[in-house]
Amino acid sequence: MLGLSIKEVSAALREGKLSATELCRKCLNRIKKTHYLNAYITVTEELAMKQAQEADHRLLRGKPLSPLDGVPFSVKDNFCTKNIETTCASYMLKGYCPPFSATVVQKLLDQGAVLVGKTNLDEFAMGAGSTDGVFGPVRNPWSYAVPYREQSVAQDLDTDWVITGGSSGGSAAAVASLSSFMALGSDTGGSTRNPGSLCGVVALKPTYGLLSRHGLIPLVNSMDVPGILTRSVHDAATVLGVLQGQDEKDSTTIQVPDSPAGLLEHFDIRDICVGIPKEYHAPMLCEETLTQWKRVADLFEGAGARVKEVSLPHTQHSIVCYHVLCCCEVASNMARFDGLQYGHRSEVESSTEALYATTRHEGFNNVVRRRILSGNYFLLKQNYDQYFVKAQQMRRLIAEDFWGVFQSGVDVLLTPTTLRDAAQYAEFIQEDNRTRSAQDDIFTQPVNMAGVPAVTVPTALSSRGLPIGLQLIGQSFQDMKLLTVAHWMEQQLDFPVIHFHDDAEERKTDKLQRERECKLGS
């Protein structure tokens, strides 16, 4: 039952084949059983059961609010949720319970969806591994699935596991491990698509401005968008249909006239032109991902779509440019965490300055501190033109690359999502975090810089038994068209359903719990 799509489970709920409370309890049990993944920071058990009972009343009367009524979902812990602790996986926000919910969360609740928990992430969504939050790293469910485990039977379950990617790794793991039917992530430079791809789920980064960011604790305001993680493209379209639209609380949102609420009905793959950006043949791209990329391009061509090579000439500058802009906005965004307004407050109160400094030192991890420092450096009067202004100019050129290609008649771009399948945790944490994130986001960051929509679709398993995803990038505000093409692609692929290895299900979780407690106490 937990492996069903939203479409299927919603039909079962409406037909009375199962109740929302039954379904909610199953998800909560699943969360407990897969506790070792560390996908959730907070499980909202009581609230979820209450919401599910309310959904049952409506369903019994034959009056569901929407196709999402009674469907369990989870939310990355950088979205505000009313009276529910919202931590951004940072010690800085420990104990912070917002007085309101983010617009996108509220919209899902208003449709009757059932919130089962808040998911784990990199601190303040800075990272590409979901390894850098105060609650410890998230484990990729595929590390405990049959193909990966069968190849590594001799190895230890506690040390031999792969990362989810990030920073929305908890949300991706929640959907992949079947404890949530959908999850919200955030995507600033790839944080929804990267873990979506590494965890074998569908992950959509909508057009900037289509969904409200109100209540999403900002990383880079000019690039952040709420992301949607589901098990099928159809489900992503359903959730997008509910979430899109102007919000008076976010002045960067707009109402798109005649915006479809679901996948397009009249669609012929032969009318589609697919662009393959030549600059995305990155030297670090692994052979297996390249093979899948070519295979899927051939599938499009074989079905009558036009496939052509295109150029996005400024791609190579996007990593550096993203880094400068990200740090500048981070430096300004993080200023609000001063020990007075939210969460953690240091006991050192000898002066206002000492209070600020020690609170921020105690509250933020190294990654966050380093970005604040870099951002303030780039924004110094003598550096501003050289860094910030240059990066903004480059950003414009990167965006124009996309606009030019789409104007030339290309409907979607087909690219890899990540360079390779998921890395082993032990390997991943050896490298410097900044270099690591930068490399891993090479195919996703330019998309945020241009504001266009993109979706990753699970494509195949690698020889290690781990998911490989491919990304489709579309034109601004043509998200449903993009998803319609993605839906077609998904139908051709036959990506396997996750099947857990028995040992993994039975393992003890005490060790992880101890690690979490230690970290929080320190």
Taking phi over 0 as left and psi of -120 to 50 as alpha, with beta for the rest, 209 belongs to left
Binding status of residue 219 toward ligand GLN by CB under 6 A: yes
Contacting residue, 186, 207, 462, 471, with ligand GLN by CB under 6 A: 186
Which one from 19, 130, 180, 191 is the annotated catalytic residue? 191
Q: Please tell me the chain's helix, strand, coil percentages from 3-state DSSP, rounded to the nearest 5.
A: 45, 15, 40
Q: Which of residues 215 and 339 has its CB atom nearest to ligand GLN in the complex?
A: 215
Contacting residue, 13, 125, 243, 256, with ligand GLN by CB under 6 A: 125
Q: Give CA angle at 410 (405, 412), nearest 5°.
A: 100
Active site residue 186: no
Contacting residue, 77, 187, 479, 490, with ligand GLN by CB under 6 A: 187
Binding status of residue 191 toward ligand GLN by CB under 6 A: yes
Of residues 314 through 373, those in contact with ligand GLN by CB under 6 A are: 326
Q: How far is the CB of 371 from ligand GLN (least distance, A)?
A: 8
Active site residue 191: yes
Question: Which stretches within 285-349 are classed as H helix?
Answer: 287-302, 318-333
Active site residue 346: no
| Distance set, CA 297 to CA 149, 204, 446, 478 (Å) | 31, 20, 21, 21
Q: Which stretch binds ligand GLN (CB under 6 A): 125-133, 170-178, 456-464, 490-498?
A: 125-133
Please give the Cα distance from 363 to 344 (Å, whole number): 7
Binding status of residue 132 toward ligand GLN by CB under 6 A: no
Name, in order, each residue with C-beta under 8 angstroms of 81's C-beta and a sequence gap of 6 or more.
75, 98, 101, 102, 105, 115, 118
Q: Which amino acid is at 37?
A: L
Q: How far is the CB of 309 from ligand GLN (least distance, A)?
A: 28
- H or E element, residue 273: strand 273-277
Q: Which stretch binds ligand GLN (CB under 6 A): 110-118, 187-195, 380-388, 495-503?
A: 187-195
What is the contact mask toward ligand GLN in residues 424 to 443, using x (rule: CB under 6 A)?
Answer: -------------x---x--
Query: Would you call 41 helix, strand, or coil by DSSP?
Result: strand
On whether the CB atoms of residues 89 and 134 are closer than 8 A, the answer is yes
Which one from 167, 168, 171, 180 is the annotated catalytic residue? 167
Q: Which of residues 187 and 235 has its CB atom nearest to ligand GLN in the complex?
A: 187
Query: Would you call 55 helix, strand, or coil by DSSP?
Result: helix
Q: Which stretch binds ligand GLN (CB under 6 A): 40-48, 68-76, 81-89, 189-197?
A: 189-197
Which one from 76, 107, 205, 481 is the annotated catalytic residue? 76
What is the contact mask toward ligand GLN in residues 149 to 168, using x (rule: CB under 6 A)?
Answer: ------------------x-
Contacting residue, 90, 103, 188, 484, with ligand GLN by CB under 6 A: 188
Please give the Cα distance from 139 to 439 (Å, whole number): 21
Q: How far is the CB of 41 from ligand GLN (least distance, A)?
A: 16
Neighbours of 50 (CB within 10 A): 14
Q: Which stretch binds ligand GLN (CB under 6 A): 105-113, 120-128, 171-179, 490-498?
A: 120-128
Taking phi over 0 as left and psi of -120 to 50 as alpha, with beta for the rest, 477 belongs to left
Q: Which residues are near ligand GLN by CB under 6 A? A: 125-128, 167, 186-191, 219, 326, 437, 441
